[in-house]
């Protein structure tokens, strides 16, 4: 009946369905959730679009990708400029001259460079005295990149909460590079384009799935053989280990628990994203959703606001998997599953769960666009 059965209505599945339909292909999209859009789904609460599964900011330097998504829905001018809170002190992110001024009172790039290099040299001397040639873990890598002050206040506690592991137990490659800028610039991304769909991400998903048959509250695995028989090919965006019945074992994930709260005030924290970097604070950050789409005095047009506290935790069955744990054990396990996937002639695996890879949104769209160009 169909050319493609697409399992999952998130950004990969929806973009695939859209481009396939434009080529005259018949698609059926199924999703076990009661809504389309996967983790970019937004819920309207008190006239505010709440990013139900965490903050999503679209950013890219690829003009074709930017033009593509804007042809479906216009994007606003939101610029991601998160703030980190440690105790009662606030620091701008990413690490830039504003951060260095807040940390040390330095006002010139050279002063900041000197301060960082002074702390780096202390770390190097200690490692050399202990006979350590290369960073063995995330902590040593971060100290070599940015020094002890910023690491202790802005990286250590946040990272350990995010991953549920000590920095000394995390591999160094996770933090091989840190965005460090010796200019007064709080724009988190280096990409040329960024923003949020005007009217929210649901509008983007609705545009991608326009004219495509979608069945929600539908679990692929409950009637797998019947669904497979409906289409020539399957596009699978779920967990790859589940697809193969966990034959080699479970891949590990981190997940996020959210506490959403409506507040009787127009402006709670003055910014969309505030990271809490102290280990003693149980949540990793607070999102104030109205700041994604309201700017300046617009914020005060709605007398209420919605905030979400995010708690990072280890994934367990029944939870939504978020972040792959790309350590050595899981990377080797994924390669075993990938070898099976590479042998499939009628199944396409795509997205962060099927490829066990952390994806931003724009690379997902770009990857699907290239798939259709190559074919």
Q: Would you give the DSSP letter of residue 95?
A: B
What average pLDDT does range 106-115 have in this prediction?
98
Is residue 177 scored above 80 in pLDDT? no
Backbone angles phi, psi at 280, to 5 degrees: -70, -20
Q: Is 180 inside any structural domain? A: no
Q: What is the pLDDT of residue 157?
A: 96
Helix (H, G, I), strand (E, B) or coil at 123: helix
From residue 169, alpha-carbon distances to 7, 203, 330, 331, 343 in Å are 35, 42, 15, 16, 35
Catalytic residue, chosen from 285, 334, 337, 359, is 285
Q: What is the pLDDT of residue 179?
A: 81
Q: What is the pTM of this model?
A: 0.93
Q: Is 38 inside any structural domain? A: yes
**254 labelled catalytic:** yes
Q: Is 187 inside any structural domain? A: no
**136 labelled catalytic:** no
From residue 237, alpha-carbon distances to 13, 62, 216, 243 in Å are 7, 23, 15, 10
Q: Quick one: 167 and 295 in the same domain?
A: no
Run of H or E including 329: helix 328-342
**358 labelled catalytic:** yes
CA distance 109 to 115: 10
Instruction: Identify the burial level of 191 via C-beta atoms within 10 angstroms of its C-beta, where 0-12 means exposed, 13-18 middle and 19 or more buried.
Output: middle
Q: Quick one: 171 and 208 in the same domain?
A: no
Q: Quick one: 60 and 92 in the same domain?
A: no
Q: Is 186 inside any structural domain? A: no
Q: Is 185 inside any structural domain? A: no
Between vectors from CA 21 to CA 197 and to CA 10, what angle results, nearest 5°? Answer: 45
Is residue 308 scored above 90 in pLDDT? yes
Q: Quick one: 156 and 217 in the same domain?
A: no
The count of domains in the chain is: 3
Q: Is 345 inside any structural domain? A: yes
Q: Quick one: 24 and 112 in the same domain?
A: no
The distance of Cα 229 from the centroid of its chain, to the nearest Å, equals 34
Q: What is the pLDDT of residue 274?
A: 98
Q: Quick one: 241 and 259 in the same domain?
A: no
Strand-pair partners of 180: 95
**67 labelled catalytic:** no
Q: What is the pLDDT of residue 244?
A: 97
Is residue 205 scored above 90 in pLDDT? yes
Specify the length of the chain in residues. 375
Is residue 91 scored above 90 in pLDDT? yes
What average pLDDT does range 116-131 have in this prediction?
93
CA distance 352 to 340: 17
Of 123, 147, 175, which residue is a domain's last? 175
Catalytic residue, chosen from 310, 322, 359, 366, is 310
Q: Specify whether the CB–CB gap between 115 and 106 falls below 8 A.
A: yes
**Which single residue is written with the structure tokens 């596009």?**
235
CA distance 221 to 343: 20
Is residue 316 scored above 80 in pLDDT? yes
Q: Is 61 inside any structural domain? A: yes
Of 314, 336, 351, which residue is a domain's last? 314
Q: Would you give the DSSP letter of residue 145?
A: H
Instruction: Identify the burial level of 129 via C-beta atoms within 10 angstroms of its C-beta, where 0-12 means exposed, 13-18 middle and 19 or more buried.
Output: exposed
Give 191's contacts (C-beta < 8 A, 6+ positions apart).
59, 60, 61, 362
Q: Quick one: 297 and 336 in the same domain?
A: no
Q: Is 98 inside any structural domain? A: yes
Q: What is the pLDDT of residue 173?
A: 83
Q: What is the pLDDT of residue 138?
A: 93
Catalytic residue, chosen from 49, 85, 181, 352, is 181
Q: How confident is the model over 251-278, as pLDDT tens digits?
A: 999 999 999 999 999 999 999 999 999 9
Quote the domain boundaries for residue 210. Answer: 2-81+192-252+324-374
Give 355's contacts (C-beta < 8 A, 6+ positions apart).
240, 349
Q: Quick one: 49 and 197 in the same domain?
A: yes
Q: Specify whether the CB–CB gap between 144 and 176 falls below 8 A.
A: no
Q: Quick one: 247 and 260 in the same domain?
A: no
What average pLDDT does range 173-188 have in this prediction?
88
Of 125, 142, 175, which residue is a domain's last? 175
Catalytic residue, chosen from 21, 49, 153, 254, is 254
CATH number at residue 22: 3.40.50.720
Q: Quick one: 168 and 106 in the same domain?
A: yes
Q: Quick one: 211 and 267 in the same domain?
A: no
Q: What is the pLDDT of residue 176?
A: 77
Catalytic residue, chosen from 244, 246, 300, 358, is 358
Is residue 367 scored above 90 in pLDDT? yes
Q: Quick one: 97 and 147 in the same domain?
A: yes
Range with lowest mean pLDDT among 219-223, 319-323, 335-339, 354-358: 319-323
What six digits make up the tokens of 311?
């708690």
């Amino acid at each position: 009946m169909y050319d493609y059965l697409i399992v999952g209505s998130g950004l990969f599945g929806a973009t695939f369905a859209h481009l396939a339909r434009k080529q005259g292909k018949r698609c059926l999209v199924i999703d076990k959730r009661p809504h389309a859009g996967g983790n970019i789904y937004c819920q309207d609460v008190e006239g505010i679009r709440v990013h139900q599964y965490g903050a999503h900011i679209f950013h890219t330097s690829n003009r074709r990708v930017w033009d593509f998504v804007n042809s479906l829905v216009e994007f606003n001018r939101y610029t991601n400029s998160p703030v980190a809170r440690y105790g009662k002190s606030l620091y701008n992110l990413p690490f830039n001259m504003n951060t260095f001024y807040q940390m040390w009172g330095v006002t010139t790039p050279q002063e900041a460079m000197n301060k960082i290099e002074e702390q780096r040299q202390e770390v190097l001397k200690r490692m050399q005295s202990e006979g350590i040639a290369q960073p063995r873990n995330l902590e040593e890598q971060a100290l070599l990149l940015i020094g002890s002050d910023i690491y202790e206040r802005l990286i250590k506690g946040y990272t350990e909460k995010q991953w549920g592991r000590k920095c000394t137990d995390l591999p160094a490659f996770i933090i091989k590079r840190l965005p460090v800028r010796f200019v007064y610039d709080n724009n988190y991304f280096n990409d040329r384009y960024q923003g949020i769909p005007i009217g929210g991400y649901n509008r983007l998903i609705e545009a991608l799935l326009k004219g495509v048959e979608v069945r929600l509250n539908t679990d692929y695995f409950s009637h797998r053989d019947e669904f497979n028989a409906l289409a020539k090919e399957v596009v699978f965006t779920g967990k790859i280990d589940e697809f193969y019945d966990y034959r080699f074992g479970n891949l590990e994930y981190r997940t996020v628990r959210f506490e959403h709260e409506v507040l009787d005030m127009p402006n709670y924290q003055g910014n969309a994203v505030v990271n809490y970097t102290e280990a003693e604070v149980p949540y990793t950050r607070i999102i104030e959703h109205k700041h994604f789409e309201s700017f300046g005095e617009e914020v005060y047009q709605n007398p209420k606001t919605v905030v979400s506290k995010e708690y990072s935790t280890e994934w367990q069955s029944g939870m939504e998997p978020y972040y792959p744990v790309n350590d050595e054990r899981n990377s080797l396990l994924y390669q075993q599953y990938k070898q099976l996937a590479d042998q499939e002639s009628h199944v396409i695996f795509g997205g962060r769960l099927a490829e066990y890879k952390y994806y931003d949104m724009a690379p997902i769209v770009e990857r699907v666009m290239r798939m259709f160009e190559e074919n």
